[in-house]
């Protein structure tokens, strides 16, 4: 086999950092790739629901069809927030479509993935991925043991989480670079074997580096420190290390191979106002709490957070055996015990916040959709949405007078599908230029509070994809695109018709012609991959 499509995911790779550091000579491999490729920027379409973008890429549809928004989501028909895993994804990934059509595939660590039985090739799930919405599992099943025997255990396979402190962050830096080495070696070996027509391989290490090393990169960040010299340039050094690894991988490609390098989102400072939203909703008369929290919030925010987590786990283990009405009755007592805000009084709450990362997600307590909904569909609902948008767009930073909110989206205006009733009604995009410790407006007054997070970096909504090779347009340029266009573009390369349920067509500007093997009469034999 001479013609392959190789798709390299570099999770968390930031477009702005890549451009700057490539221009400065720090990233020679990525610089050459930028000079040779057609870039598709995943911009405006990413902004309403940024947590779903990898799944949009995989499935060719939005969360209104595939159903995944975040690792914690509202259980439909209740007010209960539940952890979800990759089985929540209701639409098949494009690589299952390839496999079913007889294309031999190797898929390693696609974010938010689950094993596919009968897969034509090999699949590695959550070997070293950021999201961990499944567990380390492979197809064929014995591949997991082969990987660890040949390449060693990846530091992120059973990663317990990152703790603060310079020593811990220095250890994280070493672990991430060791992880890049392990993945580079497997990826290079995989490509040398020429056993698969489609290869997806994901490097997740820069995702975690962006979250935890931003404080050393951004001198304006409140957590900036240069106390540990080995961490001062840790983010750039992580990018440089990845650049060298990509160089090794790209050396395995021939002139007949197609290449896509992509990421779902980038990174910037973790400045947002999600921690102030609940109090804002109360002060604006849009939500009301049931009872009051009587416990004093003492100790550090980290110790309170750990205590609250332990108490929540204990409460859940007991509460899941109790009737729903009993659990609801005990909830105010439980919240008071852990020093948390009282639960919402659903008879007086018009809108409530959903879990998210980056944006803030708001959901209306809509009659007929929520168990105790009080907002009528139609005019009352639309008037409420307009009112909420006005109130959030009016928010200012008390210290500068600058606008706090960058944009407000109504996701169902952008995405349609059978699961649109599961989406947040409103998505708030915060201004990330500086920390948000207080907001003010004429209607609200002032609300203040510190954001209790350990990560200094968070996701810039914009991602990008680079296309290079004989199946893609040769001209070097940058276009605006949509994550949902990537799956149909890949199917087009193999001459496979796009499923009817896909949201968008492939972008014509990047395509030339499909592989010459387009007409298939029967699936080829399924190769068995060995790493030994």
Q: Are residues 399 and 481 in the same domain?
A: no
Q: Are residues 391 and 411 in the same domain?
A: yes
Reply yes or no: is the peptide bond before residue 463 cis, omega within 30 of 0: no
Give the model's pLDDT for residue 178.
Answer: 98
- Whether 110 maps to a domain, the answer reads yes
Report helix, strand or coil for 126.
Answer: coil
- Whether 523 maps to a domain, the answer reads no
- Whether 529 maps to a domain, the answer reads no
CA angle 164, 169, 175 (to 5 degrees): 135
CA angle 357, 358, 363 (to 5 degrees): 70
- Whether 518 maps to a domain, the answer reads no
Q: Are residues 14 and 78 in the same domain?
A: yes
Q: Are residues 121 and 134 in the same domain?
A: yes
Give the model's pLDDT for residue 323.
Answer: 64
Using the 3D structure, point to which of 431, 452, 473 is the last residue of a domain.
Answer: 452
Beta-carbon count within 10 A of 216 CB: 26
- Whether 432 maps to a domain, the answer reads yes
Report helix, strand or coil for 374.
Answer: coil
Q: Are residues 20 and 40 in the same domain?
A: yes
How far apart CA 446 and CA 468 sit, in angstroms, is 51
Give the model's pLDDT for residue 164.
Answer: 80
- Whether 528 maps to a domain, the answer reads no
Angle between helices 166-193 and 234-250 (to 10 degrees): 10
CATH number at residue 127: 3.40.720.10
Sheet with 351-354, edge to edge strand ranges = 351-354, 360-364, 426-430, 405-409
At 382, give phi and psi (nearest 5°).
-65, -40
Q: What range does the domain containing 372 cover?
A: 271-288+348-452
Task: Specify the number of domains making up the chain.
Answer: 3
Report helix, strand or coil for 12.
Answer: coil
pLDDT in 10s for each residue of the chain, 532 residues: 568 999 999 999 999 999 999 999 999 999 999 999 999 999 999 999 999 999 999 999 999 999 999 999 999 999 999 999 999 999 999 999 999 999 999 999 999 999 999 999 999 999 999 988 999 999 999 999 999 999 999 999 988 888 889 999 999 999 999 999 999 999 999 999 999 999 999 999 999 999 999 999 999 999 999 999 999 999 999 999 999 999 999 999 999 999 999 999 999 999 999 999 999 999 999 999 987 543 333 344 444 445 555 555 665 666 666 665 565 555 554 444 444 557 999 999 999 999 998 899 999 999 999 999 999 999 999 999 999 999 999 999 999 999 999 999 999 999 999 999 999 999 999 999 999 999 999 999 999 999 877 789 999 999 999 999 999 988 899 999 999 999 999 999 999 999 999 999 999 899 876 665 544 433 444 444 555 4
Is residue 136 within 8 A of residue 127, CB to CB? The reply is: yes
How far apart CA 456 and CA 464 sit, in angstroms, is 22
Q: Are residues 86 and 196 in the same domain?
A: yes
Give the model's pLDDT for residue 522.
Answer: 38
Using the 3D structure, point to which of 343, 373, 388 is the last residue of a domain.
Answer: 343
- Whether 335 maps to a domain, the answer reads yes
Nearest Cα residue to 424 out of 230, 274, 314: 274
Q: Are residues 146 and 33 in the same domain?
A: yes
Nearest Cα residue to 242 out of 208, 200, 269, 218: 208
Q: Are residues 487 and 355 in the same domain?
A: no
How far apart CA 250 and CA 19 sit, in angstroms, is 19
Give the model's pLDDT for residue 331.
Answer: 52
Q: Are residues 99 and 150 in the same domain?
A: yes
R_g of the chain, CA atoms, integer Å: 24
Q: Are residues 227 and 170 in the same domain?
A: yes
Q: Are residues 331 and 371 in the same domain?
A: no
Q: Are residues 265 and 275 in the same domain?
A: no
Give the model's pLDDT for residue 161.
Answer: 80
Give the model's pLDDT for residue 61.
Answer: 98
At 448, give phi and psi (nearest 5°).
-135, 160
Total count of residues recorded for the chain: 532
Break the chain down into helix, strand, coil percent, rounded to 5: 35, 15, 45
Distance set, CA 328 to CA 154, 292, 320, 365 (Å): 43, 15, 11, 17
Token pair for residue 358?
A: 């980056």
């Amino acid at each position: 086999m001479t013609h392959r499509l190789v798709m390299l995911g570099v999770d968390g790779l930031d477009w702005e950092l890549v451009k700057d550091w490539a221009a400065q000579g720090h990233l020679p491999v990525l610089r050459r790739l930028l000079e040779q490729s057609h870039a598709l920027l995943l911009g405006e379409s990413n902004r309403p629901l940024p947590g779903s973008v990898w799944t949009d890429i995989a499935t060719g549809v939005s969360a209104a069809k595939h159903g995944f928004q975040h690792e914690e989501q509202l259980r439909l028909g209740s007010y209960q927030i539940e952890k979800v895993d990759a089985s929540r994804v209701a639409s098949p990934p494009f690589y299952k479509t390839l496999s079913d059509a007889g294309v031999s595939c190797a898929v390693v660590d696609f974010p938010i993935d689950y094993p596919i039985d009968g897969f034509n090739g090999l699949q590695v799930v959550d070997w070293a991925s950021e999201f961990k919405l499944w567990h380390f599992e492979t197809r064929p099943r014995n591949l997991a043991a082969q990987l660890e025997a040949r390449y060693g255990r990846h530091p992120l396979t059973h990663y317990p989480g990152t703790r603060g402190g310079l020593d811990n962050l220095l250890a994280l830096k070493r672990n991430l670079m060791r992880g890049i080495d392990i993945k580079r070696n497997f990826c290079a070996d995989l490509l040398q074997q020429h056993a698969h027509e489609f290869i997806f391989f994901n490097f997740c290490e820069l995702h975690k580096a962006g979250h935890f090393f931003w404080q050393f990169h951004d001198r304006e960040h409140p957590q900036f420190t240069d106390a540990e010299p080995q961490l001062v340039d840790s983010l750039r050094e992580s990018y440089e290390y990845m650049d060298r690894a990509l160089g090794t991988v790209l050396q395995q490609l021939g002139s007949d191979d197609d290449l896509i390098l992509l990421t779902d989102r980038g990174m910037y400072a973790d400045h947002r106002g999600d921690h102030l939203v609940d109090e804002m909703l109360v002060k604006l008369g849009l939500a009301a709490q049931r009872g009051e929290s009587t416990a004093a919030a003492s100790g550090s925010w980290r110790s309170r957070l750990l205590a609250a987590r332990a108490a929540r786990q204990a409460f859940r283990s007991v509460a899941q055996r109790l009737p729903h009405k009993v659990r609801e009755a005990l909830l105010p007592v439980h919240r008071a015990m852990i020093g948390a805000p009282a639960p919402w009084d659903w008879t007086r709450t018009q809108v409530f916040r959903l879990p998210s990362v980056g944006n803030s997600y708001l959901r209306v307590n809509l009659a007929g959709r929520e168990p105790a909904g009080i907002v009528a569909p139609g005019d009352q609902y639309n008037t409420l949405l307009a009112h909420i948008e006005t109130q959030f767009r009016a928010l200012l930073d008390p210290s500068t007078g600058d606008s706090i909110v960058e944009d407000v989206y109504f996701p169902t205006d952008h995405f349609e599908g059978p699961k649109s009733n599961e989406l947040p009604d409103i998505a708030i995009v915060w201004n990330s230029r500086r920390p948000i410790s207080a907001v003010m407006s004429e209607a609200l007054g002032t609300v203040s509070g510190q954001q209790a997070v350990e990560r200094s970096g968070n996701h810039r909504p914009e991602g990008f994809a680079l296309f290079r090779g004989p199946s893609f347009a040769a001209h070097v340029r940058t276009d605006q695109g949509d994550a949902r266009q990537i799956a149909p573009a890949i199917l087009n390369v193999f001459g496979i018709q796009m499923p009817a349920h896909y949201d968008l067509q492939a972008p014509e500007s990047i395509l030339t012609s499909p592989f010459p093997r387009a007409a298939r009469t029967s699936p080829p034999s399924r190769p068995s991959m060995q790493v030994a």
